[in-house]
Amino acid sequence: MAKNITQKILDAHTVSGEPTKGSEIGIRIDQTITQDATGTMAFLQFEAMGVDQVKTDLSVSYVDHNTLQYGGFENADDHRYLQTVAAKHGVFFSRPGNGICHQIHLERFGKPGGTLLGSDSHTPTSGGVGMLAMGAGGLDVAVAMGGGAFSLTYPDVVLVKLTGKLQPWVSAKDIILELLRRLTVKGGVGKVFEYGGEGVASLTVPDRATITNMGAELGATTSVFPSDDATKEFLQAQGRVEDWTELKADEGASYDEVIEIELNTLEPMIAQPHMPDNVVKVTEIAGLKVDQVCVGSCTNSSYRDLMSVAVAFKASGKKVNNEVSMTVSPGSRQVVEMMSRSGGLADLIAAGARLLENTCGPCIGNGQSPPSDAVSLRTFNRNFIGRSGTKSAGSYLCSPEVAVAAAITGVVTDPRTLGDAPQFELPSEYAIDDSMIISPSDAPAEIEVSRGPNIKPLPIQNELPDSLAGKVLIKLGDNITTDDITPAGTWLKYRSNVPKYSESVFCAIDADFHTKAQAAGGGFVLGGENYGQGSSREHAALCPMFLGIKGVIAKSFARIHKDNLVNFGILPLTFDNPADYDTINDGDELELGGLKDGLTGEKLVLKNITQGIEMNLLHGYTPRQVDIIKAGGKLNYTKNLGTAGA
């Protein structure tokens, strides 16, 4: 049978289940990524499983989110813990200062045809070199490090057929913004986006990685490009051509859906506040005054991206506009070194751009919060309300080309009005220096794992009782993000301290939520469509669990968050009849009984005691998920099995 790329990789890695659409399969994971904001929990969970050495081909622990170490010992303690626990258990450790996990993984480790699981939603970046790379909660990654399979629903595969070639000043970011415009932030749920067509050849690996990275904003399981001559060239330039293999769809391979994009007709695009799918052509809002421009994040921080900004500045002979504050955060140390050697960095600094550390930085609200009511243009992937740290500001997502045009003029500007597009060559050899990636210890028994006071023990969930009762503690609308549930920014340093971090739950929506939840002994959360979209942070399940949340009833869920709720023993449930959402009010007293038997069927009966009505809820769990929920979460379930091979 002719196979597409997704089928080829999945079939080569399937260890359980049938490869039929919609059914659950278990796949072997070749490589894992963790980052510091999710990694401390993932490693505490890995330790709790009692596995000595990781069983993957490669596991890397990156420090890139909380590198600032401001206001106390917390970040630095976490780094120490991560470094020692990695050394002890066979994991490579990428030190703070080495760069953003996705950029580095693409540069140094990603391999065509392999599987990668990462405790960060933008793990699909490595799909740019033909990997099947997926984001997941830290606990799923911990299980994969222990050699356990990763379970996923066999996806629909969408072919994104690219024809023609991008015009000057139009770049990869515009392709993914166009897809978001067409499909919305929930248009990709349950799907893998596979890129094909003759237009693929004109895109370099950094271009492809921008697209696969931001496929996460479609809610997609992942996105993948073929591995071709461009991939070989990139891996050759990274000094690892031996990692290259050709990977393409067979002639006549079938797809569940085909989407066509004519590259030559695309124009510069921009996502307006406060959702990545609120996309328009730049020309539609040209002239809007801009207060801040930020270039960077795992979407657009490669050498290619920064050079296009530097070269555009140089060619224009202009500086950053007096009314604009502009920052640049490079993706990796390799990018910084290459930019320094090529002179591009000097051009950026001469233009008045402010150079930040090569980390996530402003993307996750770690610095550069814009002024009140500001317009901030960012080459990032998320513009959720408040994510920048300033609730009244609006973040707009755009390409580096659109960002530099606005930095020069001080208003949203179509970069095509600037004249000739930046010309520069991508290197045939990148600067390779892995000295900030520390290998695991040769004598693991001698390593003592360092645990500072910020590292609090994992909260434990009990087995599921037969009935759950409690109040609706909050009623929410559509597209609630994990940033709404457990915000980042100044809260980030408490990622290893669940009791403290739990104080942040829904704080921007209801500042008293955590006290209310604890006083009520827990209860239920009511959500609309696509509940839990955005990041993979399992804290968005773990902290509500700590506050006693028993179930989240919503119209639909984002993939990773739904798995995270199950993993922590909170019931994600949907309405049999979505109109029932309107009949439940904030504060209503709810009861779900007969759970142990009920979970073996499709439907559960919810009693709304306050309104005196009943309704059917659907759980949609696989038998494995039912067992996890009954055990009180995946950690208990895995321990009960006595293996990480769950």
Eight-class DSSP state of 356:
-
Cβ contacts of 152 within 8 Å, gap of 6 or more: 24, 25, 27, 134, 221
Rank residues 212 and 413 by Cβ distance to ligand SF4 and give the closer one: 212
Rank residues 231 and 502 by Cβ distance to ligand MIC and give the closer one: 502
Cβ contacts of 120 within 8 Å, gap of 6 or more: 33, 34, 35, 38, 101, 102, 135, 535, 536
Partner from ligand MIC, ligand SF4, none binding residue 38, C-beta < 5-8 Å depending on class: ligand MIC
Residue with tokens 């606990």: 139
Q: What's the closest the beta carbon of residue 382 comes to ligand MIC, in angstroms?
A: 6
Catalog residues that contact ligand SF4 under the rule CB under 6 A.
65, 100, 120, 122, 297-298, 360, 363-364, 381
Is 120 a known active-site residue?
Answer: yes
Q: What is the rounded distance in angstroms from the CA atom of residue 291 to the CA atom of residue 412?
A: 10
Is 64 a known active-site residue?
Answer: yes
Q: Which two tokens stand for residue 78?
A: 């976490």
Rank residues 381 and 608 by Cβ distance to ligand SF4 and give the closer one: 381
Rank residues 125 and 334 by Cβ distance to ligand MIC and give the closer one: 125
Distances, alpha carbon 473 to alpha carbons 155, 527, 549, 590, in Å = 34, 11, 9, 11
Q: What's the closest the beta carbon of residue 494 comes to ligand MIC, in angstroms?
A: 12
Q: Characterize 539-558 residue by residue with b for buried, 16 or more Cβ atoms within 10 angstroms of its Cβ, and e for exposed.
A: bbbbbbbbbbbbbbbbbbbb
Sheet holding 115-118, edge to edge: 132-135, 115-118, 31-35, 58-62, 92-94, 437-438
Q: What angle do CA 434, 438, 439 make, to 5 degrees?
A: 105
How would DSSP label each residue in 73-127? SHHHHHHHHHHHHHHHHT-EEE-TTSB-HHHHHHHHT--TT-EEEESSTTGGGGG
How would DSSP label each residue in 291-334? -EEEE-TTTS-SHHHHHHHHHHHHHHT----TT-EEEE--SBHH
Rank residues 4 and 222 by Cβ distance to ligand MIC and give the closer one: 222
Partner from ligand MIC, ligand SF4, none binding residue 100, C-beta < 5-8 Å depending on class: ligand SF4
Partner from ligand MIC, ligand SF4, none binding residue 158, C-beta < 5-8 Å depending on class: none
Partner from ligand MIC, ligand SF4, none binding residue 537, C-beta < 5-8 Å depending on class: ligand MIC
Q: What angle do CA 380, 386, 387 make, to 5 degrees?
A: 35
Distances, alpha carbon 70 to alpha carbons 144, 360, 476, 493, in Å = 32, 15, 33, 9
Rank residues 170 and 393 by Cβ distance to ligand MIC and give the closer one: 393
Partner from ligand MIC, ligand SF4, none binding residue 33, C-beta < 5-8 Å depending on class: none
Which of 5, 46, 56 lies closest to 158 in space, CA to CA? 5
Cis status of the peptide bond prior to 514, with omega within 30 of 0: no
Catalog residues that contact ligand MIC under the rule CB under 6 A.
37-38, 65, 120-122, 135, 364, 488, 534-537
Q: What's the closest the beta carbon of residue 206 comes to ligand SF4, in angstroms?
A: 15
Q: What is the rounded distance in angstroms from the CA atom of residue 332 to the CA atom of residue 62?
A: 12
Q: Which two tokens stand for residue 419?
A: 């004249």
Catalytic residue among 30, 78, 120, 291: 120
Q: What's the closest the beta carbon of residue 462 comes to ligand SF4, in angstroms?
A: 33
Partner from ligand MIC, ligand SF4, none binding residue 215, C-beta < 5-8 Å depending on class: none
Q: What's the closest the beta carbon of residue 101 comes to ligand SF4, in angstroms?
A: 7
Is 89 a known active-site residue?
Answer: no
Catalytic residue among 122, 537, 559, 619: 537
Rank residues 335 and 517 by Cβ distance to ligand SF4 and give the closer one: 335
Partner from ligand MIC, ligand SF4, none binding residue 297, C-beta < 5-8 Å depending on class: ligand SF4
Q: What's the closest the beta carbon of residue 362 comes to ligand SF4, in angstroms?
A: 9
Q: Is 581 helix (H, G, I), strand (E, B) or coil?
A: helix
Partner from ligand MIC, ligand SF4, none binding residue 536, C-beta < 5-8 Å depending on class: ligand MIC
Q: Which two tokens stand for residue 595?
A: 């759970």
Q: What's the closest the beta carbon of residue 363 comes to ligand SF4, in angstroms?
A: 3
Catalytic residue among 13, 65, 208, 387: 65
Rank residues 87 and 129 by Cβ distance to ligand SF4 and give the closer one: 129
Catalytic residue among 30, 36, 64, 291: 64
Is 428 a known active-site residue?
Answer: no
Rank residues 220 and 631 by Cβ distance to ligand SF4 and give the closer one: 220
Is 537 a known active-site residue?
Answer: yes
Backbone angles phi, psi at 27, to 5 degrees: -125, 150
Is 495 a known active-site residue?
Answer: no
Q: What's the closest the beta carbon of residue 94 comes to ligand SF4, in angstroms?
A: 13
Which of 30, 40, 262, 310 lies closest to 165 in space, CA to CA? 262
> Would strands 292-295 and 325-328 be described as parallel, antiparallel, or unpaired?
parallel
Catalytic residue among 382, 387, 451, 514: 382
Q: What's the closest the beta carbon of residue 198 comes to ligand MIC, in angstroms?
A: 32
Catalytic residue among 535, 556, 588, 619: 535
Active site members = 64-65, 120, 382, 535, 537
